[in-house]
């Protein structure tokens, strides 16, 4: 019996040996692919960027897959941009398990990475511990509103702003009495978008009702579509979602019912330009590039950086042709006023959110 098992184990180890070469081979084959697309993307706008990141190494920890839409994906693209535009040497770990946060952070720090991005508030506690041990390494934590004031920066995009803009637009559309929201998960950034949406809608019309549905781990298109249909059945007149990759399902449900959709995180209009009124863009990529640029210049401070509408990191896209046809003129001009007011400090979104009634 014992020998049998040993054979299995030896086989296992031997097989790892034989198979990993395959892995290496695939990797090599694919790498040129990735770099070429990056080069073509970035060539056009900034052909002569100064390579201030030369000799610096940046790493990124992502809680989800780099291929998602709106959160991990854009951050990863930002990482690729600091490689091509600033000449950082980069590495990343995607879908990192909570149990491994400490291990991965420490390994990156030991490997001599100068700037480590941890994309999510859930990393903050562990980063704070590891940052003590590596005072020469700089950490940038997403959605961190407090730091250790030594070598951690907070890299924040205001989720409240995102929600506020979409809520304000949705509540102004004709015949909207109830807004339906498909939430991806009950985690701070998404809850904050939802709160911002409530505040934005309440700013326009306190009478507007808002219904919210959480999808579970299966937050995919099919599940989100069912959630959206349930919202429409309960009387929602317009939809939004924070479920990332599930958004096309919500859009398709809205389209089937002849209702409209306001998106966030990414440009959703290509999915269905007749249903998607507009999308609020959260530019994580630029946030990453800005942080890396500041670091390379030696100007990065250990404070929470906040990027929102005022800083130009959260914004509506240009309205599409079809959207311009269906959105009334006065709504468009009021939206412009609202955005100007926010930028001028006449509307403080945080106060609007704080004034919301408990749910």
- Window 94-123: residues binding another protein (CB under 8 A): 94-100, 102-104, 106-108, 111, 121-122
Task: Confirm or reject binding of residue 344 to another protein (CB under 8 A).
Answer: no
In the complex with another protein, the residue whose CB is nearer, 243 or 335, is: 243
Task: Confirm or reject binding of residue 141 to another protein (CB under 8 A).
Answer: no
Question: Any idea what the Cα angle at residue 248 is, between residues 308 and 217, rounded to 5°?
Answer: 85
Q: How far apart are CA 14 and CA 24, in angstroms?
A: 16
Q: How far apart are CA 191 and CA 162, in angstroms?
A: 11
- Please answer whether residues 139 and 152 qualify as being in contact, where contact means their C-beta atoms are separated by less than 8 angstroms: yes
> Which of 10, 51, 355, 356 forms a contact with another protein (CB under 8 A)?
10
Is residue 45 classed as helix, strand or coil in its secondary structure? Answer: coil
Task: Confirm or reject binding of residue 93 to another protein (CB under 8 A).
Answer: yes
Task: Confirm or reject binding of residue 306 to another protein (CB under 8 A).
Answer: no
Q: Would you give the end-to-end CA distance of the chain in angstroms? A: 62
Q: How far apart are CA 98 and CA 95, in angstroms?
A: 9
Q: How far apart are CA 302 and CA 164, in angstroms?
A: 28
Q: Which stretch binds another protein (CB under 8 A): 232-240, 302-310, 321-329, 330-338?
A: 232-240
Strands 314-316 and 276-282: antiparallel
Least distance from another protein to the Cβ atom of residue 41, Å: 10
Least distance from another protein to the Cβ atom of residue 209, Å: 9
> Which of 43, 233, 321, 341 forms a contact with another protein (CB under 8 A)?
233
Name the nearest CA neighbour of 156 among 32, 288, 52, 30: 288
Query: How many DSSP H helices and E strands does the chain contain?
Result: 12, 12
Task: Confirm or reject binding of residue 46 to another protein (CB under 8 A).
Answer: no
Q: How far apart are CA 354 and CA 359, in angstroms?
A: 12
Q: Which stretch binds another protein (CB under 8 A): 88-96, 274-282, 339-347, 348-356?
A: 88-96
> Which of 185, 310, 326, 350 forms a contact with another protein (CB under 8 A)?
185
Least distance from another protein to the Cβ atom of residue 241, Å: 13
Task: Confirm or reject binding of residue 357 to another protein (CB under 8 A).
Answer: no
Four-residue CA torsion sign, 33, 39, 40, 41: positive
Q: Which stretch binds another protein (CB under 8 A): 46-54, 80-88, 225-233, 344-352?
A: 225-233
Task: Confirm or reject binding of residue 44 to another protein (CB under 8 A).
Answer: no
Name the nearest CA neighbour of 42 among 6, 85, 104: 85
Per CB under 8 A, contacts with another protein among 51-70 are: 59, 65-67
Structure tokens at 21: 């070469």
> Which of 37, 205, 301, 333 forms a contact with another protein (CB under 8 A)?
37
Per CB under 8 A, contacts with another protein among 257-276 are: 270-272
Task: Confirm or reject binding of residue 354 to another protein (CB under 8 A).
Answer: no
Task: Confirm or reject binding of residue 39 to another protein (CB under 8 A).
Answer: no
Number of residues that bind another protein (CB under 8 A): 92
Least distance from another protein to the Cβ atom of residue 107, Å: 5
Q: How far apart are CA 125 and CA 141, in angstroms?
A: 10
Q: Which stretch binds another protein (CB under 8 A): 207-215, 273-281, 309-317, 326-334?
A: 207-215
- Please answer whether residues 254 and 275 qualify as being in contact, where contact means their C-beta atoms are separated by less than 8 angstroms: yes
């Amino acid at each position: 019996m014992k020998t049998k098992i040993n054979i299995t184990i030896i086989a296992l180890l031997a097989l790892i040996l034989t198979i990993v070469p395959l892995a290496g081979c695939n990797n090599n084959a694919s790498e040129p692919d990735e770099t070429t697309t990056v080069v073509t993307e970035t060539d056009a706008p900034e052909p002569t960027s100064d390579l201030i990141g030369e000799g610096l190494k940046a790493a990124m920890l992502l809680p989800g897959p780099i291929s998602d839409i709106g959160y991990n994906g854009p951050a990863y693209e930002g990482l690729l941009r600091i490689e091509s535009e600033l000449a950082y040497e980069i590495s990343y770990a995607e879908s990192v398990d909570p149990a491994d946060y400490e291990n991965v952070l420490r390994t990156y720090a030991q490997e001599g990475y100068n700037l480590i991005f941890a994309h999510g508030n859930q990393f903050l506690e562990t980063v704070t511990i590891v940052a003590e041990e590596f005072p020469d390494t700089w950490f940038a934590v997403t959605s961190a509103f407090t730091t250790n004031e030594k070598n951690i920066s907070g890299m924040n995009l205001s989720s409240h702003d995102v929600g506020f803009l979409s809520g304000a637009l949705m509540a102004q559309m004709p015949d909207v009495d109830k807004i339906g929201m498909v939430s991806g998960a009950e985690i701070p950034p998404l809850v904050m978008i939802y709160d911002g949406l409530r505040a934005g809608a309440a700013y326009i019309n306190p009478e507007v009702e808002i219904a919210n549905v959480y999808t579970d781990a299966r937050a995919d298109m099919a599940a989100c579509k069912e959630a959206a249909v349930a919202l429409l059945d309960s009387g929602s007149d317009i939809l939004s979602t924070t479920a990332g990759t599930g958004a096309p399902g919500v859009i398709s449900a809205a389209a089937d019912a002849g209702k409209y959709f306001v998106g966030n995180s990414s440009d959703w209009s290509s999915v269905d330009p007749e249903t998607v009124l507009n999308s609020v863009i959260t530019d994580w990529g630029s946030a990453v590039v800005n942080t890396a640029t500041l670091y390379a210049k030696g100007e990065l401070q250990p404070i929470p950086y906040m990027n929102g509408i005022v800083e130009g990191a959260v914004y509506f896209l240009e309205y599409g042709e079809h959207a311009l046809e269906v959105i009334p003129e006065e709504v468009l001009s009021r939206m412009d006023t609202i955005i100007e007011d926010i930028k001028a400090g006449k509307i403080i979104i945080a106060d609007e959110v704080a004034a919301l009634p408990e749910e």
